[in-house]
A and B are shown apart, each in its own frame.
Chain A
Amino acid sequence: MHQLNISAAAEGDVNPLVPNGWEMLVVFVGFAILFFIVVKYVVPMFEKTFAERAEAIEGGIAKAEKAQAEASAALEEYKQQLTDARTEANRIREEARAEGAQILADLKEKAAAESARITAQAHAQIESERQAAVVSLRAEVGTLATTLAGRIVGESLDDDARAARVVDRFLADLESQNAGAAK
């Protein structure tokens, strides 16, 4: 029991709840020094490492996520471009087809117009030649007939006005006969 007695002697007879002022001071100062070191060095150093580590990990993840996002964006862009290109190709094809049809129609129309024009020209030429032939024939036939008739009748039919009237009447008779024959 003597150890306990030594302890009790060291404690004295004081109530254990009554503190020793010097001990309190030492604990206070010791704790203050420790707290200062912790605030000044320990916590900042550990926090710095934690932050760096978190950044290293999160940075890697963020980088990977960014690469992923970029890749999918590129893919999306390529898909979009492909779709655009397809649409464009279709559009061009449609346009070409429409244009071809248009050109064909134009050409047809032009050809038709040309042929019509040529036909009309030919008609006109034929008509004018026929007219010219009729005129020249009328004059020649009139002269020939007059001469012939004059010779036959022996009568001078030089009087132009009369001769013309006779020729006209003759021709009119001829035409009416022709018309009747044609009918």
Chain B
Amino acid sequence: MSVMTSNKHSATPTPPSRKRNSLSKGKLPRWAVPATAAGAIIIGAALSTLTGFSVATFAIYSAVLFVIAATVLTSAVEGKRQGRNAMWTYLIYGSFLLALIPLASVLYTVLEKGLPGMSSHFLFTSMNGVTGAVDNQTVADGTPVLGGAYHALMGTLLITLWATVISVPVGMLTAIYLVEYGKNGPLSKAITFFVDVMTGIPSIVAGLFAAAFFGLILGPNARMGIVAAVALSVLMIPTVVRSTEEMLKIVPNELREAAYALGVRRWRTILKVVIPTAISGIASGVTLAIARVIGETAPILVTAGIASQINTNVFANWMSTLPTFIYYQILTPTSPTNIDPSVQRAWAAALLLILMVMALNLGARLIASLFAPKKGR
């Protein structure tokens, strides 16, 4: 606080003999808020040290002090309304920072623990032949960890691809029916209700459904990639329906009428006018739905099982995906006595998964901007 008062005299030389604007009110100098923040941090540190220093109490004390001080100061100088505005502004900034903490923490942890395991060996080899003995030998020799997540990466890509291939047509056609043909009739109301119910299905239940369904057809132990893809599509379809529906709804009716007035049939209007106009939103909705299911673990375990070798055929044999790979590496380390190589592989796989989801989100933005109605003159 002493820093503040000493600054006050030097930093604001009042302009001489200038007529005071009758419309203006008091205005805090620009350095006042940073100075208050600095003061709050110093006092917060002091208070925190008094009660046994910890980062949490330091941050909380400083934040509370800053919000109170900035509010009081602004009210005193700029008036009550500006004071309230300052309080809510800083509270909202605070909540934003609070919400950012878990994200930053997750990213930091995954990068810190996952990067050491990231290598071309990890990306392009499977766990085939990597046993507890291999891991024990690696730890004993101090050589790089053997075995990778290539099989899980392929499994994730293939199962998600097939889930998308199943869900996108079903979801899009459902949404087209609801918006263009259903007209709020009893059938479309029923569909909307069941889509809402489907949204709430726990993922393990979707997995059990797919496992039981294929079990009935192909006999017990029918575990393969396509069963997992069906389970994931049960989770994806409602998301695709919802997002496509919203996008189709915001296509202006004028465009449909313009096409009808040119003598264009309804299905051609939908195919050539309505969907192209909404395609950017639909594409990003679909990408977000993929990002949502790519991290599912439980439904994969009950439908595709677990594998340590490469299997690129979704219609036969068990398959691993990145989430089930992580789950198994952590829960049942390859070598029960030396778990470090397994833990390292798990974190590297987690990093890989996060990178894939990020790439999908960026891809969604790219697709949205590529397909968006053209601007320009």
Binding partners A and B: no
Which chain A residues have a beta carbon within 8 Å of chain B's beta carbons? Answer: none
